[in-house]
Structure 1
């Protein structure tokens, strides 16, 4: 009954499409224009991808820190490691650069040698005052050397912040206005103001300026994403059109397919704008993804049209059969592909949820476009010429299909042995996979700013902030000497961890206050004793400047302090070990009954986000397998058939995971996507093959062997065509400068190639080996859905 309804529905659909061609084209044009008008709402992301849901405890703690101390990711750092900096001309230019940056409205503050303030004691007023290190322009080398000596030898407070004492690297800290750090204004400042000033300084002095800091890195990273979108779209169109033309040898067929996918890309951008979603490193992949997934739809539809024309030469009948026969199959395969992406919607990660929604919507949209546009355009054109149909009998394709048939017919044992060896080897490889939660690992490693990141890691022990927030549970509890000593003890323990930089906190300021009290003698850069503390605090309380310095380290009530350290770019395993080590040290020094301590910062938030995401993506993959299993069950009504159909689709995933382990490719947000994406696409081949196989069973009166070989010959060509398009289509992502996107492209391409071989060799071999238990009348006689309805005899 369902089959009759389905066949009737598709025949009616074919009539409606072909009888209302002009109206449908006008509707599609209207939708395209409407969605093109939504492009203005597209926004490129100006914040880091938050992989955790807003209500997650890690996010709650991080937001609590931001509420207390403000945005932490607003620091840009520039540095020079060159002895030629310490000449009067170059040093004055360095200080001039700081003044120019400070003059920009987007800059909140600049801490540099030019603006560096020394804390000095005013005995008459009994208070501390700030005195500039450099009062006038430096005129000779002796003055520069004097400033250099004072900086390196007498001002330990600024060590690690402004200089590396061992290598004499000098740096400047530029604090961007917190109000604009997550807006487009930041991008305009970095591209139009900041970079030209750096370039001008380098041209004048010949010095190499290293630049880092999250606002700068995020800006250039976002720009790289924007630049790559057009590259991906161009590469995907170029590669798929060349392959398509190579297979079909028809400019007309190639042109029609390109029209379909270009409109699909326009819709993809329009849907992003309509939903007001930001373009992130993931959603940027959707337009080229639509091209890669859309072309196989075009291959199936055009191939069927040309086959029908070759059979009887009747255009109207050919177009009607294209819609009624292939439309259903294409719908089913697009549903399974969309399901693979739609499973991301169940994750609580905003980043993945948006990616899943837009990708699944656009996959369905490209199906509708191909089903409507291809038959309608062909209906206005003359029948394909004989030369356009030659590819249907291409010798090398027939040779490939013959090789597959021979493998299934004569080498089934070898197929099973190779599959088993691959499975065992892959399981061994899986145990070698590591999880990576690095903020930096996926960034363009050939970019100049990536080299600068490594420079700062080497010179200043990292750029990824880790924040320890200490709540003393009482007003002004931070400045109690017992608290300061405990904090200093913790900081000493932190210095023992090689992956972390020297921490910065209020203890540094208190030590500096004692040094200033003793007339700047660096030997007194230490915490005061009880007696000294009384005198020093009396000076500090009268000093407005000291209060300004204090607010960077202590909240307004004096109850909560922060300890800031910076972490190197390390793997998740190491990061988790460091976090555990830190907590041990914290609990040892700051008893839980007296202090509430929070450990947060971008590095830790991203690590936790990666772990959370991996867990959610594993769940989404499991859901995709479950949903598609239900779909198979509904189609074939057999648990055994579900198992057989899943084997050639899960085996490629296991092989890919094993390869990742052997090649050292870590599990991270970008690479974990591979499995859901590849599974959703590869299962299409299984559906096509099994549907054709079931159809052949009916024709051959349940001759199983004959049906398997006929199905292999019938579907082999189309499956080979689409798999090659998908392989090279996803391979364009390997052009990316982002490690994650590159890995995604390579791994999906590899997985789909293995999946094609599994579906065309292993699946038929399994059907023949298990024919008595599975492939019988009872299992396949009355399917719920006829994916490939029998061609009518009309």
Structure 2
């Protein structure tokens, strides 16, 4: 890297060219490597004869959940002449927009009159207040309205809006545009004191994407600025800072270009966290390498010889840190969540490319005019000047090796046990910025409507059961009663509720004959006799899916009991909330698999690299201690185990092991030069202490910038990373020296090969002087 600058430059240009292809034409490059489609003739197996079922009629059933955007309107009372008139005009004006396909609201509810006579839920605006009050009670009591389109207190009304996407030209039209139209109409009516919010899948998606894109630029700029600022203060030399900064910048440039070939789209961790993370990882190795190069330049070596000696001294440690960090990140590929897997793959690619950037750019730059003054300020930095004072820590540790090593093992074990009490959870609002309209609307929907998200119980029956059998309604009614017993389940609705709104009384089996009196769009919203299936729908609040664990468990047990009483029926609890609950345990499994596999592989790599299983085992304590500290912090602050936590834990393991490797590498080298193990520990601290403290300060400063993000997940990631890196420094400066002095005595460590001597006489003379 130091002796052949021309080859290194050509190699850098080659990687840059490949990265540029990723930025400009990734699809075309991916097509080069796609295999040609192979045509296969599949033999169709003879199917068993099935009962020929009747084709459902061409009816568009109503849906209480199918909306691109939901306009949430709040008012003290909608049932006044002026407010009803305002509502009708709001709906009319929104429907007149060219990009709006339909608006579903109260007046679109099908008629439940058994004689087919039109009885509107909302009377004419000229109706008397007494009639309006009666209409309000009737509307709230309607099974398709109360808790579905109108809150039970009558103060929140929903407009379910669907778009014609061919005419949508602006994202704001799907949210702000709708509210502007509604506000403009409401302003015409002094008594229409409406407030408006938008929610639903489109507003939530747009909010998440906009915040993601804004934070991607904002926090990268702030983070990089903080890193450079701290580096200038610590290095006390601008040229050294520029060279160190060039390496991670080049690594990020390569990575973000290369991962375009992998076609990972809209991954918030890749776009926001990954660049900052790779910058910090690259900066860590870069600082260690630059500290050694500056040291040799200050001793009188040329730029070439100083770079050569620096690579020789810390190159192996940087390689080991990159390999172990890649292993830590790569363990995320075991996760079942696609976003986490993609982040893990990207991190592996990024760490390896960043190592290449560090090991090529810094030695090459040190041979240019930039490297002429990198040693200026060496020994004058804050850490350099005060390192001697910090050395008392090593002396204190070496005097109490038995106590501190035992303390380290015991404290780590206790903190791990506390961390194991973390429980998984997940909320949809966590992906939204605090205080955003989408987050506020989610909370409002929880209070007013029992939740925005819907789940359902899917009911099917065998062909032996006639679709008009009273048993169908009996089974559905039992499911409905089961859901009504659960406090967290909001407003269940099924064909039973609709039949119950028809005139007359009687048992479910007696009312089954009235099914044919229902309007087809309403009947087939929850009941499809031609397919032997029906549904019971209910609301789920965004309280954290773990809160619903006991509820869903009781429901599934109840469904088994109902199924036993109706052997020809099948009952399935389904929906997005149920899916998230069932896969919630996978977060814990992913974390255990990621950390376990990463820890084992890192142990094997370190034991192989240092040719000592004992050193590999010793490294477990300082590497697990910071993770245990962070896990305990989450427990004590009432946090849960989430996807972001899984990523942060694994990422932190990859970063925390870096300092341990640098310390162990220097310790093994010093053991070859001195007779005392304690002296080897002291010299290892002196040799890498400056870089360890410097990188920790810079890393914590870089991550701290993300703490001010309005995205909760990003804040959690930054807090966990900063806490882990800080406690990793403590573990490496306190617990690791005690463990080495206690369990890695010279007689227990196999000899390593002598380092290759430099052939340059000037280098040899300088080393003799040192």
TM range (shorter): 0.7 to 0.9
Name which of 495, 502, 510 aligns with 1:506: 495
Residue 297 (structure 1) aligned with residue 281 (structure 2):
no
CA shift, 1:244, in A, is: 0.9
Name which of 299, 316, 335 aligns with 1:311: 299
* Cα distance, 1:609–1:188 mapped onto 2, change above 3 Å: farther
Residue 190 (structure 1) aligned with residue 199 (structure 2):
no
CA shift, 1:361, in A, is: 0.2
CA shift, 1:789, in A, is: 6.4
CA shift, 1:758, in A, is: 0.8
Larger CA deviation: 379-388 vs 660-669: 379-388
Cα distance in 1 for partners of 2:400, 2:177 equals: 67
CA shift, 1:746, in A, is: 0.7
CA shift, 1:441, in A, is: 4.3
8 A contact 1:95–1:112 mirrored in 2: no
CA shift, 1:778, in A, is: 5.4
CA shift, 1:262, in A, is: 3.3
Give the match for residue 33 of structure 2: none
Cα distance in 1 for partners of 2:321, 2:268 equals: 26
User: SS of 2:378's equivalent?
Assistant: helix
Give the match for residue 519 of structure 1: none
* Cα distance, 1:569–1:348 mapped onto 2, change above 3 Å: closer
Residue 744 (structure 1) aligned with residue 733 (structure 2):
no
Residue 776 (structure 1) aligned with residue 746 (structure 2):
yes
Give the match for residue 213 of structure 2: 226
Name which of 92, 98, 112 aligns with 1:99: 92
Cα distance in 1 for partners of 2:122, 2:403 equals: 80
Name which of 361, 371, 374 aligns with 2:349: 361
Cα distance in 1 for partners of 2:541, 2:386 equals: 53
Mark the runs of 5 or more structure 2 residues left unpaired by the alignment. 30-60, 765-770
Give the match for residue 728 of structure 2: 755
Tell me the alpha carbon deviations over residues 484-515 of structure 1, each in whole angstroms, 9 at most, x when there is no partner.
Answer: 13212321221121101121122233334x33
State the aligned residue count: 724
* Cα distance, 1:620–1:373 mapped onto 2, change above 3 Å: same
CA shift, 1:337, in A, is: 0.8
8 A contact 1:163–1:169 mirrored in 2: yes
Residue 719 (structure 1) aligned with residue 695 (structure 2):
no
Residue 616 (structure 1) aligned with residue 604 (structure 2):
no
Tell me the alpha carbon deviations over residues 593-624 of structure 1, each in whole angstroms, 9 at most, x when there is no partner.
Answer: 21111111111112223311320221111110
1:655-674 pair list within 5 angstroms: 655-674=629-648
Cα RMSD over matched residues?
3.4
Name which of 399, 409, 425 aligns with 1:410: 399
Cα distance in 2 for partners of 1:420, 1:501 equals: 49
Give the match for residue 442 of structure 2: 453
Tell me the alpha carbon deviations over residues 635-681 of structure 1, each in whole angstroms, 9 at most, x when there is no partner.
Answer: 12222222111111112222222222222111111112222111111
1:178-327 pair list within 5 angstroms: 190-191=174-175, 193-197=177-181, 200=184, 206-284=193-271, 285-327=273-315
8 A contact 2:383–2:690 mirrored in 1: no
8 A contact 2:479–2:536 mirrored in 1: no
Give the match for residue 632 of structure 1: 606
Cα distance in 2 for partners of 1:474, 1:290 equals: 60
CA shift, 1:390, in A, is: 3.9
Give the match for residue 587 of structure 1: 560
Cα distance in 2 for partners of 1:476, 1:266 equals: 64
Residue 26 (structure 1) aligned with residue 10 (structure 2):
no
Larger CA deviation: 227-236 vs 153-162: 153-162
* Cα distance, 1:135–1:393 mapped onto 2, change above 3 Å: closer
User: SS of 2:425's equivalent?
Assistant: coil
* Cα distance, 1:753–1:329 mapped onto 2, change above 3 Å: same
Give the match for residue 659 of structure 2: 685
* Cα distance, 1:578–1:685 mapped onto 2, change above 3 Å: same
Cα distance in 2 for partners of 1:70, 1:206 equals: 29
Residue 561 (structure 1) aligned with residue 534 (structure 2):
yes
* Cα distance, 1:537–1:74 mapped onto 2, change above 3 Å: closer
Cα distance in 2 for partners of 1:376, 1:730 equals: 29
User: SS of 1:670's equivalent?
Assistant: helix
* Cα distance, 1:150–1:439 mapped onto 2, change above 3 Å: closer
CA shift, 1:321, in A, is: 2.6
Mark the runs of 5 or more structure 1 residues left unpaired by the alignment. 1-12, 43-67, 123-127, 516-523, 541-545
CA shift, 1:428, in A, is: 5.8
Cα distance in 1 for partners of 2:433, 2:291 equals: 40
Cα distance in 2 for partners of 1:112, 1:248 equals: 65
* Cα distance, 1:305–1:480 mapped onto 2, change above 3 Å: same
* Cα distance, 1:713–1:184 mapped onto 2, change above 3 Å: farther
Cα distance in 1 for partners of 2:369, 2:195 equals: 62
Cα distance in 1 for partners of 2:384, 2:611 equals: 38
1:342-353 pair list within 5 angstroms: 342-353=330-341
CA shift, 1:410, in A, is: 3.5
Cα distance in 2 for partners of 1:41, 1:436 equals: 40
8 A contact 1:407–1:415 mirrored in 2: no
Residue 341 (structure 1) aligned with residue 353 (structure 2):
no
8 A contact 1:79–1:169 mirrored in 2: no
CA shift, 1:751, in A, is: 1.3
* Cα distance, 1:478–1:665 mapped onto 2, change above 3 Å: farther
CA shift, 1:370, in A, is: 2.2
User: SS of 1:712's equivalent?
Assistant: helix
Cα distance in 2 for partners of 1:419, 1:154 equals: 64
Name which of 110, 135, 147 aligns with 1:160: 147
User: SS of 1:243's equivalent?
Assistant: helix
Cα distance in 1 for partners of 2:651, 2:279 equals: 15
* Cα distance, 1:241–1:197 mapped onto 2, change above 3 Å: farther
Normalization by structure 2: what TM-score?
0.85
Name which of 90, 115, 127 aligns with 2:108: 115
Cα distance in 1 for partners of 2:530, 2:172 equals: 36
Tell me the alpha carbon deviations over residues 57-105 of structure 1, each in whole angstroms, 9 at most, x when there is no partner.
Answer: xxxxxxxxxxx99996746433333226444444333333333444556
Cα distance in 2 for partners of 1:574, 1:116 equals: 33
Residue 483 (structure 1) aligned with residue 472 (structure 2):
yes
Cα distance in 2 for partners of 1:196, 1:272 equals: 41
Residue 697 (structure 1) aligned with residue 686 (structure 2):
no
8 A contact 2:707–2:715 mirrored in 1: yes
User: SS of 2:455's equivalent?
Assistant: strand
8 A contact 1:469–1:598 mirrored in 2: yes
Larger CA deviation: 442-451 vs 662-671: 442-451
* Cα distance, 1:378–1:436 mapped onto 2, change above 3 Å: same
Cα distance in 2 for partners of 1:406, 1:596 equals: 71
Name which of 356, 372, 377 aligns with 1:388: 377
User: SS of 1:445's equivalent?
Assistant: coil
Normalization by structure 1: what TM-score?
0.83
Cα distance in 1 for partners of 2:229, 2:745 equals: 39
Name which of 80, 91, 99 aligns with 2:73: 80
Cα distance in 2 for partners of 1:216, 1:25 equals: 43
Cα distance in 2 for partners of 1:234, 1:158 equals: 49
CA shift, 1:15, in A, is: 2.2
Cα distance in 2 for partners of 1:661, 1:553 equals: 43
User: SS of 2:527's equivalent?
Assistant: coil
Residue 172 (structure 1) aligned with residue 142 (structure 2):
no
Give the match for residue 10 of structure 1: none
* Cα distance, 1:588–1:406 mapped onto 2, change above 3 Å: same
Give the match for residue 652 of structure 1: 626
CA shift, 1:714, in A, is: 0.5
* Cα distance, 1:399–1:779 mapped onto 2, change above 3 Å: closer
* Cα distance, 1:236–1:323 mapped onto 2, change above 3 Å: same
8 A contact 2:3–2:304 mirrored in 1: no
